[in-house]
Chain A
């Protein structure tokens, strides 16, 4: 059984089909990149996989559970228990320190544990920056805090939205290395990206165009820096 299954999913906004009969399977432990140009439906797909939106029709199974018909509250619980989120804009809480930002995810999930939060920061190489506020951290450091926050509750799936979109090359490499480690440890990763190089690091690439899946594992040829991937 796949960890995530989208079956004939439609998402309609008025006359616009943001997702048009999309079917995707993601296995546990897989590293998948979802790529596509602007307006292709990447964000809509990400919202649905991340339990932040519901499809207009079709089925979405996460760990065997149909999440397409769940209430807002039930979706919140799934998001809290099973999903780790990484954002392009980092979205750290400005008035909390790095370690406190990680603990916020624990707070909503179960019990905050500062020692465990520190371990997560250590893992992303930021133990010495734990007491710093986001404004005192570089973009790369902020994204690494975001990664530590995403993995602190041992989610079944980590969803990353353009995780390197705001990073320089050096920090992009650090974040991708972290993803490699997580993948090696068996974490399921779904990365939405414009960047072909980032996409190329994934095991499998799903390409969306005009709300449809146009290729899986195939060559991609759009956007800047397009390149062939496996």
Chain B
């Protein structure tokens, strides 16, 4: 047999007994808190993960930064200067770098433009490119833009002779011609200007032109928001004088706009859900107080002060808030994972900090929701218990 019990121990014993032994009564309020906390925890997880998810999603729409020569009169950029510029980007941010060397060439004396590039890197920077056939995988293969394929009546598997013409100083007189036969490995369908070009590997371009390549442009795909991109651009500008970085505003602006709107929507839904949870808990607690008027009257008749009554009911509410918050934090992560897998096709990172945040938010919501019902509890007349109603 135990002896004296502290007031706090008895307080906890009473509120836990009330929650544990009146399960059916408490279930609705608890369910409301669990649902609210689940959605809160889930949406906050998504809220914080959206920039990453959206960033990844937007990387599918191509490069968000380009490098061009700082002074175009001095010719193109060297591979070294491009690599140096890329070294200013963290490896976890850099998705890919595709340098392009454009050259005017001919097919049967008809002029066209071909780009020599790192085809592997292009696949990373421009994942939206749709290739009918296959990407060039060995020397002598060419990827042809759809418009050019129509102009030259080319299809996958066709052979085509591409000629590089060395011109004189005035740029008009052909001094020497270097024809090379290529096989069309694939046709490029992007719906954009890329369809007007031929794409070959850097090595093929070098052997065709017989000179070391410099690049007219390099496309960079970076997983970062608009501010970070500008920061990187400024950094490259000041450290690599031969290149001029430019943020692709069209992409970064729409990414920021979509992001802001999505986050605002998530925030709004969270607030609405919390408000609904609060209403549900407040309604349930009001019903609980009404249902337990006799018990409140009895406690007051036994000498409970208004403060004690408020503390007991608030304690019950907060206990439910804590239990609901804990369940909600776990279920919220599962909910966020489900949404992320279905919407963004990728998994989400668990953030342990969200557990205490969810519990605190659940405590705050239940605490606020209980305020009015608990105040009403103190208005119960202790004489009620003597009336035998």
Contacts and interface: CB of A to CB of B under 8 A. Distances in A.
Interface of A: 43, 46-47, 50, 52-53, 73, 76-77, 79-81, 85, 87-89, 91, 93-96, 100, 103-105, 107-109, 111-115, 118, 133, 149, 161-162, 165
Nearest to A108: B303
Interface of B: 1-7, 9-11, 13-14, 17-18, 21-22, 294-295, 297-306, 308, 381-383, 385-388
B386 A46 contact: yes
A118 B42 CA distance: 49
Contacts of B299: 93, 104, 108
Contacts of A80: 302-304
B5 A103 contact: yes
Nearest to B5: A112
A105 B298 CA distance: 10
Given A89-B385, A95-B17, A50 B3 contact: no
Contacts of B18: 95
Contacts of B302: 79-80, 85, 104-105, 108, 149
Contacts of B387: 43
A50 B301 contact: yes
B6 A111 contact: yes
Contacts, number: 102
Q: Which 9 A-B pairs have the closest CB atoms?
A: A80-B303, A95-B21, A108-B303, A52-B383, A112-B5, A112-B10, A91-B298, A113-B4, A47-B383
A76 B298 CA distance: 12
* Residue from A76, A79, A118, A165 having most chain B Cβ neighbours under 10 A: A76
Given A80-B303, A103-B10, A104-B299, A87 B386 contact: yes
Contact of B303 (A81, A100, A114): A81
Contacts of B300: 76
A29 B306 CA distance: 32
B316 to A, nearest CB: 11
A93 B164 CA distance: 98
B383 A113 contact: no
B388 A88 contact: yes
A105 B300 CA distance: 10
B10 A50 contact: no
A52 B386 contact: yes
Nearest to A92: B298
21 contacts: A46-B386, A47-B383, A50-B301, A52-B301, A52-B381, A80-B304, A87-B298, A91-B297, A93-B299, A94-B22, A95-B17, A95-B22, A100-B13, A105-B302, A105-B303, A108-B299, A108-B302, A108-B308, A111-B6, A112-B5, A133-B21
